Chains A and B, each alone.
Chain A
């Protein structure tokens, strides 16, 4: 997927001016935040589970090669194939080749952010194969030709009215007078539309929430059951997953599953949790004839051993963006690539480069709410700060800001000079602004006074007044 992360400022201005989007974003607080708060408060061991989840993933990341090789052995034992792909190009090509071998006309798809990362849909279309999104949210944005704006609720930026409009525009064979108002209406209609597509599909592509080394299984969690239909009814199941999805055992997966839905949607468990272990065996009643796992690196192995390694613990629950005030203000598209919100502010520069995505780790107030809800205890603000350090060292930011900062730091490390200079400035500002108590605009403070007044200082500085008091005493 191409990135517009460089245009973050313009993207966010557009998002702030889009009243429909702002209305859609308003639902995050009552939806995700309140539900997560409720469900985690009912589980006394939730904090201990977070520690366990973090430890499992840290152990995996320290032994990633071992567990990946073990996973491959098991997949092969079960009759499946693992494809190791360094780049998005390799992964796309691998999936296309599998589809071509089956003479595929259509590919059904469960929701997968890694598929977005490698730009799978566009690539399949360019090569004459029709991708069919089966997750309701993905189905909606596919009709709208939009990328997802959220990693678990891809169409969160779309209002019900817009969905109704899209459905009427595309489903022209249905009664134009039909009711399209509730989520149930949308689900029923999409389900009817998709049913035949599952049976007709030659290949079903899903993502994976976990890859389990001890059994060679892949796991997806869904609420609609579309993932199961995609992988069972297609003749060939292709799993696309990035390599950090691996966990050692089934038990480890169950530990993290207890964190995942609670952190994500505020459910105790998702409606479906589906384990896939190889293709259909002789006595199985159903299942795909072929089972492929496409394992994508795309820069992740280069994060190992760096200050960004902890990011690879991420289980894509979206709690960080659900609680992020910046995400709530501008939505996911402003971030300009696949992964938005705080996790995207760290992952995006890691995968496509800080030159391209330098805005993202800067567009944070470091309020720390993301880290406080992250089930894997990923220190997101700290890693965003690491990117700011890299940008500063490499002079990627604004030269004007850098010189201002250097000037200020030069003063701040010379207390006497600092005292003298600030004493004069504050006396002047205090005298000018004292009567009104505020400034509507101030030279060099346009970024501040563009949107708010600048309160006037009281006049003398604390250190001046304190010194005066001491002299009197």
Chain B
């Protein structure tokens, strides 16, 4: 998983730090709920030397349909994404879950359509989660950002297990001035979001997210960070319901030094 062919690696090396053209896959949740994460992603990518464009004809990666067993709609949405992101050196998403969908699952959707499968394969190879792209592909060593206080970090499942996102966010967070990271002991255990799972099985999801935010509170960290808005909305929702004071943010907001707006689930001051 997450490995590249020699050809792919050479292609990347040739492009690294030389102003690659990046298509930003905003993701539906960032588009609808938290546009600030999208603008943070643009800033981080531009700071790393990328030229960023946001194709118009994008909505969602298709996961809600895919994980509900609706393959015809999944294919229709995937075709739209494949078309929209033709011609970019890289496609980057501020989400391990959506990047994982394109990277891990798109090619197999078109087993019966060799031509589309080939295009899906080509897209898959160019698609990355934001923070791992910055570190692994663009060679970013640090960021110019400041956040006073302690944070803890939740490893979202798809990013962690499908794309190997683990060390990269920690590496960049360690360069944020004033920030100290307290590791979350259960960082690799699912928060109970799981897309439609959390509304289909709310009781079980509740148990999982309660355990998670209890662990978060036990770290004593002032802020909880993660790289996926789905997990963040779930955990923030529970934190607010329980009346905990932990702030919740997408990691990109902190890395881009754009953590001045209210946290997820916090009111406007």
- Listed in ascending order, the chain A residues whose CB lies under 8 Å from chain B are 9, 12-13, 16, 325-326, 329-330, 362-369, 371-372, 385, 387-393, 397, 401-402, 405-406, 408-409, 411-413, 415, 418, 422, 426, 434-438, 440, 445, 447-448, 450-458, 460-463, 465-466
- Least CB distance from B266 to A in Å reads 4
Given A369-B157, A461-B31, A462-B26, A454 and B237 contact (CB-CB distance below 8 Å): yes
CB distance from A289 to the nearest CB of B (A): 50
Binds A, one of B119-127, B174-182, B204-212: B204-212
CB pair A401 B197 closer than 8 Å: no
Stretch in contact with the other chain, from B4-12, B71-79, B219-227: B71-79
A363: B residues at CB distance < 8 A: 197, 200-201, 204
A429 to chain B minimum Cβ distance, whole angstroms, is 9
B240 at the interface (CB under 8 A from A): yes
Please name the residue on chain B nearest to A390 by beta carbon: B69
A452 to B237, CA, bound (A): 5
4 extra A-B contacts, CB within 8 A, seeds A9-B203, A366-B67, A451-B203: A369-B157, A369-B188, A409-B70, A466-B54
- Nearest-neighbor residue (CB-CB) of A10 within chain B: B203
Tally B residues with Cβ within 8 Å of A. Answer: 69
Can you list 17 residue pairs at the A/B interface with Cβ under 8 Å? A12-B203, A369-B161, A369-B189, A387-B69, A393-B69, A405-B64, A412-B59, A412-B62, A413-B59, A422-B31, A437-B266, A448-B237, A451-B203, A452-B238, A457-B34, A458-B34, A462-B31
Residues of the A chain whose Cβ atoms lie less than 8 Å from the Cβ of B66: 385
Majority secondary structure of chain B interface residues (helix, strand, loop or mixed): helix
Report whether A452 and B206 are in contact in the complex, using a CB–CB cutoff of 8 Å.
Answer: yes
Is the CB–CB distance between B192 and A365 below 8 Å? yes
- Closest B residue by C-beta to A391: B69
Given A388-B68, A405-B68, A422-B32, are A451 and B202 also a contact pair (CB < 8 Å)? yes
Which of A364, A367, A452, A462 is in CB contact (< 8 Å) with B35? A462
Known: A401-B68, A437-B266, A438-B237. A367 touches B31 (CB 8 A): no
Interface pair A461/B35, CB less than 8 Å apart: yes
A70–B207 Cα distance when bound, in Å, is 50
Residues from chain B with Cβ under 8 Å of A409 in the complex: 65, 70, 73, 76-77
Residue B116, interface by CB 8 Å? no
Whether, in the assembled complex, B142 has its beta carbon less than 8 Å from a beta carbon of chain A, the answer is no
Within 8 A of A (CB), among B1-49: 26, 28, 30-36, 38-39
Looking at A12, A385, A438, the one whose CB has the most chain B CB atoms below 10 A away is A438
Please tell me if the beta carbons of B33 and A329 are within 8 angstroms of each other in the complex: no
Q: How far is A389 from B108 in the complex, measured between Cα atoms in Å? A: 14
Enumerate chain B interface residues (CB-CB to A < 8 A): 26, 28, 30-36, 38-39, 54, 56-60, 62, 64-71, 73, 76-77, 80, 157-158, 161-162, 188-190, 192-209, 233-234, 236-238, 240-241, 261-262, 264-268
Are A365 and B265 in contact, with the CB atoms below 8 A?
no
Residues of the B chain whose Cβ atoms lie less than 8 Å from the Cβ of A438: 237, 240, 265-267
- Known pairs A330-B204, A435-B267, A454-B237; A388 contacts B59 (CB<8 A): no
The answer on a CB contact under 8 Å between B240 and A325 is no
**Cα-based distance from A13 to B204 in the complex (angstroms):** 8
Q: Who on chain A is nearest to B28 by CB? A: A412
B26 proximity list for chain A (CB < 8 A):
462-463
Instruction: Tell whether A451 pairs with B206 under 8 Å between CB atoms, given A364-B194, A405-B65.
Output: yes
Determine the chain A residues whose CB is within 8 A of the CB of B188 once the complex forms: 369
Q: Closest chain B residue to A387 by CB distance?
A: B69
B residues less than 8 Å from A405 (CB atoms) = 64-65, 68, 70, 73
Contact, CB under 8 Å: B207 / A385? no
Q: How far is the CB of A12 from chain B (nearest CB, A)?
A: 6
Determine the chain A residues whose CB is within 8 A of the CB of B199 once the complex forms. 445, 447-448
Chain B residues near A454 (CB-CB < 8 A) = 233, 237
On chain B, the residues within 8 Å of A452 by CB distance are 206, 209, 234, 237-238, 240-241
Chain B residues in 8 Å Cβ range of A367: 157, 161, 189-190, 194
A455 pairs with B236, CB closer than 8 A: yes
Do residues B190 and A369 form an inter-chain contact, with CB atoms below 8 A?
Answer: yes
Contacts of A9 in B (CB 8 A): 201, 203
Choose one: B35, B196, B236; the contact of A465 (CB below 8 Å): B35
Complex CA distance for A456 and B265, rounded to whole angstroms: 6
Closest residue of chain A to B156 (Cβ to Cβ) is: A367
Q: How far is the CA of A362 from the CA of B67 in the complex (A)?
A: 9
Pick the contact of A413: B54, B77, B157 (CB < 8 A): B77
Q: Are A16 and B58 closer than 8 Å at their CB atoms?
A: no
B233 to chain A, nearest CB (A): 5
Cross-chain contact of A16 among B32, B204, B264 (Cβ < 8 A): B204
Q: Known contacts A385-B66, A453-B241: does B193 contact A365 (CB below 8 Å)?
A: yes
Q: Top 10 closest A-B pairs, CB basis?
A: A365-B194, A447-B199, A392-B69, A388-B69, A452-B237, A367-B190, A462-B35, A437-B267, A409-B73, A451-B206
Of A363, A367, A372, A460, the most chain B CB neighbours within 10 A belong to A367
When distances are taken between beta carbons in the complex, the residues of chain A under 8 Å from B240 are: 437-438, 452-453, 455
Give the distance in Å from the alpha carbon of A372 to the alpha carbon of B160 in the complex.
11
Q: Assess the A13–B209 pair: CB atoms within 8 A.
A: no
A104–B205 Cα distance when bound, in Å, is 49
Q: What distance in Å separates the Cβ of B256 from its nearest Cβ neighbour in chain A?
A: 14
Query: Are the CB atoms of B69 and A457 closer together than 8 Å?
Result: no
